[in-house]
Structure 1
Amino acid sequence: MAVERQDSAVRAYVGVTDGDWFRFLAARPHLAEVNFWRPAGSRAFRALSPGEPFFFKTHHPHNRVVGGGFFSGFAQLRVSEAWDLFQEGNGVSDLAGMRRIIGRYRPAPIPASEDPLIGCVLIRDTVFFPAEEPTGPPPDFASNIVQGKGYVVANETPFGYFQVLISRLLGAPLEVDFSEPWHRPGPVFGDPRLTPNRLGQQSFKAVVLDAYGRRCAITGDRIQPVLQAAHIRPLPAGGEHRLDNGMLLRSDVHTLFDHGYLGIDPKHRLMVSPRLRTEFGNGEQFYARAGTAITVPTATRDRPHREFLEWHLDEVYKAA
């Protein structure tokens, strides 16, 4: 789930990675979206906001930055959910192998009857550097750091270091002022990969599922196979994969929303088109809920954005 932060300075994070994980993914460059998972799901990742750079560093004695990408979001997912969404993007070839590897980091192997939560740090637009061109860790990255360390990119000491690393991710020289605010509308620095708040496709599904507590925002249903991450403003109409442009909806509710028979007002109240009754003679379950507030994420910035809701009401919703 996205995390509210007080400052607007660009940050970067260097995470310590397992050698098998990065070698598996480096051999599959077509996987542009990966899950940098953590075996325990109880602790959220708060070091970055979506769009900021995340780098992978190997353990000692190799101790090199071997690649990176851009942070999409954090979600607590069951092992099976993480596999369904990211498949080989989890850095392993199958679900059984993933369960086995996660079990190594826990006090005991995962029983066959359990499907535990893990922490999923989701990274998009990943790039792994050529084996002959690794980069050393930041100068102040202590050898006893187990998970990773965050940095303010504009700080004088690490700035040149991260400028080079981000340039390697983008494949082009990067000449920008990282002291400028990061979280503002539209593309940043002229490269769409640096657009704040944009998530990868699978990461969008993961964070929407997590942020809405695995419940349909309108009906409260929890039957997961029929729950879908819906875009308020769809991609063909200029929408983006971002949490505040999404809702978790039951599949039939999703269809009705996309066709304009349901809408959400800027105060997050359900609107039901009169055409649902006149065209189909049905929909009483929705009329009974009209005017009531839908379920929204806890964090204000994660909730459906007014701009996207108003677009849907103006362009899609069948008001009469």
Structure 2
Amino acid sequence: MRIFVAVTDNDWFTLHASLDRVDEVNFWRPSPDATFKALQPGELLLFKLHAPLNYVVGGGFFVRFLQLPVNLAWDTFKEANGVRTLAEMRQRIAFYRRVPILPNENPNIGCIMLAEPFFWPKDAWIPCPNDFKLNTVQGKGYETESGVGRELWTAVSERIQKQLPASLMPGTAALAAVESRGYGKPQIILPRLGQGLFRILVTDAYQRRCAITGERTLPVLEAAHIKPYTVVQRHEISNGLLMRSDLHRLFDDGYLTIDPIERRVVVSKRIREEFENGKDYYELEGTQLREPIETWAKPSIENFEFHAYNVFL
């Protein structure tokens, strides 16, 4: 397994560390050309503060890197971006780019999205590895199976195990990492996603298009849960659909569903009975669902069956 020690903005860390609970974070980079290939999903990114605070102070489990419009990043993650407001986020991006952002601009930024983040109190901070050069701009990767990387992983693992029991529950990336003892490949997909990560990963899986209409206007697209979240208590990509906001509402309220086998839209007669309307929605009857390319992201039959037989009326 690999660890990446990333140089971290002190204010970004301080805001997150001040909060009672943080389920996910967007460790963003201001450049529209930024990339990140240092980790695979499930591997660990650690936060190292700027000098003179040369300590590793927390971390999170890597989920995905994407270039996202700043407005979408803010709308999705809010304070999980490490800022209080969208205006502050735009100001900080402009500061790092050294180029003003005009009011009507919505530039892309590089988003390193992390699940199950943790922020240690000062007495748990780990001194930065001796081979980590202080002029490093972005960060440095380590293998956890030997040498400096092994020492670092041992220290991190000890601190993870001292966290609240909830972080080491079955199905969490933290528990999987501890049980692996730093050896072997990480999990393919992080198991415990927050609402923001669920939205972004579903949006990406459906190529930013409504699964029913093909609509591409991002502000009106929403990530819907097929089997209600109140039932499953987890955000899973195979339980997600990207839908236009009005269709999402109708889907959640049981006015339309997806045939589990045919994967076609079925519209309830209740729309006509209750509202004496619905022509636009009945025209969608029989529409073939647009599904993700990746097999792991495709909705499961079980989830569609639950919706069709328990939510749809």
Shorter-normalised TM range: 0.7 to 0.9
2:146 to 147, 156, 162: 156
Percent pairwise identity:
44
Does 2:266 correspond to 1:272? yes
Aligned match for 1:33, one of 19, 24, 36: 24
CA distance in 1, matches of 2:292, 2:33: 18
Q: Which amino acid aligns with 2:187?
A: H
Matched, 1:200 2:194: yes
CA distance in 1 between counterparts of 2:156 and 2:106 reads: 37
Q: 1:117: Cα distance to partner?
A: 1.2
Query: 1:117-196 counterparts in 2 under 5 A?
Result: 117-138=108-129, 141-143=132-134, 145-153=136-144, 155-157=145-147, 158-172=149-163, 176-178=179-181, 179=183, 182-183=186-187, 196=190
Q: Any idea what SS the aligned residue of 1:105 has? A: helix
Partner-residue secondary structure (3-state), 1:71: strand
Residue identity opposite 1:88 in structure 2: E
Taking the TM superposition and a 5 Å limit, the aligned residue runs for 1:1-320 are: 10-48=1-39, 50-106=41-97, 108-138=99-129, 141-143=132-134, 145-153=136-144, 155-157=145-147, 158-172=149-163, 176-178=179-181, 179=183, 182-183=186-187, 196-265=190-259, 269-273=263-267, 275-276=269-270, 279=273, 283-318=278-313
Mean CA deviation greater in 11-20 or 259-268 = 259-268
Structure holding more helix per residue? 2
SS at match of 1:295: coil
SS of structure 2 residue aligned to 1:176: helix
1-structure distance, mates of 2:301, 2:36: 27
Compute the TM-score of the two structures, normalised by the length of structure 2.
Answer: 0.77
Superposition RMSD in Å: 3.4
Cα distance change on mapping 1:136 and 1:306 into 2, 3 Å: farther
Distance in 2 (alpha carbons) for counterparts of 1:57 and 1:67: 8
The Cα shift of 1:79 comes to: 1.9
Contact 1:141 1:149 in 2 (8 A): yes
Deviation of the 1:266 alpha carbon:
5.8
- Displacement of 1:247: 1.7
CA distance in 1, matches of 2:250, 2:5: 43
TM-aligned CA distance change 1:52 to 1:241, over 3 Å: farther
Shift of 1:257: 1.9
Q: 1:233 to 1:45 in 2, by over 3 A?
A: farther
List alignment gaps of at least 5 residues for structure 2. 169-174
Deviation at 1:103, TM superposition (A): 1.1
Match of 2:9, as an amino acid? D
What's the CA shift for 1:277? 6.7
In structure 2, the CA distance between the partners of 1:112 and 1:256, relative to structure 1 (3 Å rule), is: closer
Q: Distance in 1 between matches of 2:41 and 2:59?
A: 14
Answer whether contact 1:138 1:161 (CA < 8 A) is retained: yes
Q: Secondary structure at the match of 2:180?
A: coil
How far apart in 2 are the matches of 1:221 and 1:264? 18
| Contact residue 24 and residue 114 of structure 2 kept, 8 A | yes
Contact 1:68 1:169 in 2 (8 A): no
Distance 1:31 1:177 in 2: 24
SS in 2 for 1:216: coil
Contact between 1:50 and 1:197, CA under 8 Å: does it hold in 2? Answer: no
Give the distance between the partners of 2:239 and 2:33, measured in 1 at CA. 26
Q: Describe the shift of the 1:277–1:101 C-alpha distance in structure 2 as closer, same or farther (beyond 3 A).
A: closer
Matched-pair contact (CA < 8 Å) for 1:13–1:47: yes
1:158-215 CA-partner distances (Å, limit 9, x unpaired): 345314313423525976234466538xxxxxxxxxx933211222223333444443
5+ residue gaps, structure 1 = 1-9, 185-194
